[in-house]
Amino acid sequence: MIEAWMKLTIDTTLLGLEAQSVIGLRMAQIAMGQSTPAEAQLMMSEKMLAFMEATMTVAAGGSAHKVVNGYRRRVQANAERLRLV
3-state secondary structure of 49: helix
pLDDT tens per residue, range 25-75: 999 999 999 988 898 899 999 999 999 999 999 999 999 999 999 999 999
User: Confidence class of residue 84 from pLDDT cuts 50, 70 and 90?
Assistant: confident
The DSSP secondary structure of 6-48, one letter per residue, reads HHHHHHHHHHHHHHHHHHHHHHHHHHTT---HHHHHHHHHHHH
Number of C-beta neighbours around residue 69 at 10 A: 16
pLDDT tens per residue, range 51-60: 999 999 999 9
